[in-house]
Homo-oligomer: A and B are copies of this chain.
């Protein structure tokens, strides 16, 4: 075995060379940050991270997040050298998820595990999808919160099941994005002492020097968030790095930021400290020179010197293996003493639902006055939460308005213990106060979900505009986060156009991998929650009204269980051969029912289709869909108090869409609805016009 110091250097330079080679071979990628921050990450993994490469899904592992996702080549090199295996035995072909040398050689090519930016679920060892800046650090806060909650909830004296740390490597870009400020402020407030951000401070952005635009005092800023701040003046100094990580481990009352001064493209004689080193291959000659500087063989590509992988295995691997083995024993003892709690943990890790989770779901009697779907949702949420301890969440300072508070003596606030006695909170609390930080909130709940919890996040529908980047990544990661968006249309009333969503529904529906649900009444809300709770591989957006909507008479109309098909026939012509189809979602369904009843009196046969989820409906058989929306019936009216964009899919080109084509209006809800034509009379008129139009088209 080579000497320790020399050995460290060889390992670090191997990380650098592999990263350079991967980028060079791909003719694409970001070599500079891997070269500069290799020692920072190496030191963490080799000396501190408790991580078992044989089981990268061990629940109590330390997390490492590459928030600077463009430095993916570094992460892949690290995963390869550490021998990180398949992510989970539940995958069909798990071995294929582990990074191989061939994957590094096919960096950024179709099929490679080494994608341009790290993708959760695609590559074993990638804890969360990163690349869009700020997302990784915000997710890391969610993971740290999850650890605090798991520890507070499940640990028992002498049985510390959860005590892991969360590390995130971030760049100046992460620091500049607003989401990181939101997340850092929240993390400081919550005193997340298990959270460590490592800021790779290389002074270079895509446009040039960070002096061009980023001259704030980052250390002072994080101190203002109540973080501990440590500094490393030279990324190549493993001694300083070690000391900084030890400072983090010794800090028990706040998160830690380690600011590491590094040099982008370190070792490349012409490109170090230049913006060119950020996002372009160095070129073969510069790679040669850098390798010479590193004492690597400039004629070799993808070279892994003898002993390097063994060294990784002996350090990371051994420490992780030992810790994991001890944990397994601990868990066995725990399971013996607390079988119910152990079962909860196992169920949660498998994204299961506890037995009886839906035993107490309410059922709502018909009621023409009805109640707001945010209200019924609050009741359903509480009914499920009482039976599922790891269902938890909160709102972006809108819990009273979104009705997302878990009520009862059992549920406190999630707060740092001690300091917040007066807030009746500790880390066992299940009500989370995210503050007016929608973007961080959505990334944080993704982090909580990635740690096994079943979190929800809530705000007004309009504020999805603040957090779309985080929503998108939750869909890309295929994790079952629950997003609750209330005040879902112009009918929120007086707050006016600034708060009235128009394009937001269409925007969410256009997004891949997301289930959007806009239930029509209290009983559809029950069914929506029933469906959402059973999702395991995608997030859902539950879209709810501020205003009361009638609870439909399900004896008279079809049962709300039809929601499970995405869309269903709610009311029909007696002969099941209607003259016109009335399509609607959410609060506009009862409007269509009113029109239907009126049309019936006039002898006009209408069918009302409630369409709470287009995505679920699209997944039904063609037969079912044709049964609900018979292709032969062209007279169609769609009613939704939102942008009509996208409705042509169901109305066809000859149909009619009653939607909103402009921004809204500040006035009481009923007046607003009137002004925009959301009244039965307009639906009736449109239905008549449609019948006439398509009748004459046929007779022509």
Instruction: Please list the residues of chain A having a beta carbon within 8 angstroms of any beta carbon in chain B.
Output: 26, 28-29, 69, 108-110, 112, 115-117, 119, 129-133, 172-173, 176-182, 185-186, 188-189, 205-207, 209, 211-221, 223-226, 275, 395, 397-401, 413, 415, 420, 422-423, 433-440, 462-463, 465-466, 468-469, 472-473, 475-476, 493-499, 502-503, 506-507, 509-513, 631, 643, 645-646, 648-649, 652-653, 661-663, 665-668, 671-672, 675
Least CB distance from A113 to B in Å reads 10
- Chain B neighbourhood of A497, CB < 8 A: 115, 119, 476
Q: Are A671 and B110 in contact (CB under 8 A)?
A: yes
- Chain B neighbourhood of A465, CB < 8 A: 132, 468-469, 472
* Candidates B178, B186, B221; contact of A225 at CB < 8 Å: B221
Q: Are B507 and A116 in contact (CB under 8 A)?
A: no
- Chain B neighbourhood of A413, CB < 8 A: 212
Known: A213-B435, A645-B510, A645-B646. A494 touches B108 (CB 8 A): yes
Q: What are 24 of the A-B contact pairs (CB < 8 Å)?
A: A29-B494, A117-B496, A117-B666, A119-B498, A130-B498, A131-B498, A132-B462, A177-B182, A177-B437, A178-B180, A185-B216, A205-B397, A206-B401, A215-B226, A216-B225, A216-B226, A221-B221, A221-B224, A275-B400, A476-B498, A503-B510, A509-B645, A631-B653, A645-B645
Closest 5 pairs (CB-CB, A-B): A178-B178, A131-B498, A181-B181, A116-B496, A220-B224
Known: A110-B675, A653-B653. A503 touches B511 (CB 8 A): yes
Q: Quick one: closest B residue to A649, CB to CB?
A: B648
Q: Quick one: closest B residue to A434, CB to CB?
A: B213
Add 19 more A-B contacts to A115-B666, A181-B182 (CB < 8 A): A115-B496, A117-B498, A173-B397, A178-B181, A209-B423, A211-B422, A214-B435, A217-B223, A218-B224, A220-B223, A224-B224, A466-B469, A502-B510, A502-B511, A503-B510, A503-B511, A506-B506, A506-B507, A506-B645
How many angstroms between the C-alpha atoms of A131 and B667 in the bound complex? Answer: 16
Q: Are A436 and B494 in contact (CB under 8 A)?
A: no
Q: Are B494 and A646 in contact (CB under 8 A)?
A: no
- Chain B neighbourhood of A495, CB < 8 A: 116-117, 131
Q: Quick one: closest B residue to A425, CB to CB?
A: B212
- Chain B neighbourhood of A423, CB < 8 A: 209, 211-212
How many angstroms between the C-alpha atoms of A185 and B218 in the bound complex? Answer: 10
Q: Are B502 and A512 in contact (CB under 8 A)?
A: yes
Q: Are A395 and B116 in contact (CB under 8 A)?
A: no
Interface centre among A28, A206, A219, A496 (most CB of B within 10 A): A496
Least CB distance from A551 to B in Å reads 25
Known: A110-B675, A207-B399, A476-B498. A510 touches B224 (CB 8 A): no
Q: Are A224 and B217 in contact (CB under 8 A)?
A: yes
How many angstroms between the C-alpha atoms of A436 and B648 in the bound complex? Answer: 38
Copy tally for this chain in the complex stands at 2
Q: Are A179 and B176 in contact (CB under 8 A)?
A: no
* Candidates B131, B132, B209, B215; contact of A189 at CB < 8 Å: B215
Q: Are B216 and A188 in contact (CB under 8 A)?
A: yes
Q: Are A178 and B176 in contact (CB under 8 A)?
A: no
- Chain B neighbourhood of A130, CB < 8 A: 498
Q: Are B648 and A512 in contact (CB under 8 A)?
A: no
Known: A433-B207, A493-B28. A513 touches B177 (CB 8 A): no
- Chain B neighbourhood of A178, CB < 8 A: 177-182, 437, 439-440
Least CB distance from A625 to B in Å reads 12
How many angstroms between the C-alpha atoms of A498 and B66 in the bound complex? Answer: 14
Least CB distance from A112 to B in Å reads 8
Q: Are B69 and A498 in contact (CB under 8 A)?
A: yes
Known: A132-B463, A223-B220, A433-B207. A499 touches B117 (CB 8 A): yes
Q: Quick one: closest B residue to A405, CB to CB?
A: B207
Q: Are B494 and A26 in contact (CB under 8 A)?
A: yes
- Chain B neighbourhood of A216, CB < 8 A: 185, 188-189, 224-226
Least CB distance from A49 to B in Å reads 24
How many angstroms between the C-alpha atoms of A438 and B177 in the bound complex? Answer: 8
Q: Are A177 and B110 in contact (CB under 8 A)?
A: no
How many angstroms between the C-alpha atoms of A188 and B217 in the bound complex? Answer: 10
Least CB distance from A690 to B in Å reads 15
How many angstroms between the C-alpha atoms of A493 and B512 in the bound complex? Answer: 19
* Candidates B177, B397, B661; contact of A213 at CB < 8 Å: B397
Least CB distance from A231 to B in Å reads 15
- Chain B neighbourhood of A275, CB < 8 A: 400
How many angstroms between the C-alpha atoms of A558 and B177 in the bound complex? Answer: 44
Q: Quick one: closest B residue to A177, CB to CB?
A: B436
Known: A205-B397, A494-B116. A665 touches B211 (CB 8 A): no
Least CB distance from A110 to B in Å reads 4
Q: Are A643 and B510 in contact (CB under 8 A)?
A: yes
Q: Quick one: closest B residue to A657, CB to CB?
A: B649
How many angstroms between the C-alpha atoms of A28 and B669 in the bound complex? Answer: 11
- Chain B neighbourhood of A510, CB < 8 A: 502-503, 506-507, 510, 643, 645-646
Q: Are B436 and A205 in contact (CB under 8 A)?
A: yes
How many angstroms between the C-alpha atoms of A69 and B497 in the bound complex? Answer: 12
Least CB distance from A366 to B in Å reads 29
- Chain B neighbourhood of A472, CB < 8 A: 465, 503
* Candidates B109, B476, B493; contact of A671 at CB < 8 Å: B109
- Chain B neighbourhood of A475, CB < 8 A: 663
- Chain B neighbourhood of A185, CB < 8 A: 176, 214, 216
How many angstroms between the C-alpha atoms of A220 and B219 in the bound complex? Answer: 11
Q: Are B207 and A129 in contact (CB under 8 A)?
A: no
Known: A211-B423, A397-B213, A510-B643. A667 touches B108 (CB 8 A): yes
How many angstroms between the C-alpha atoms of A646 and B645 in the bound complex? Answer: 6
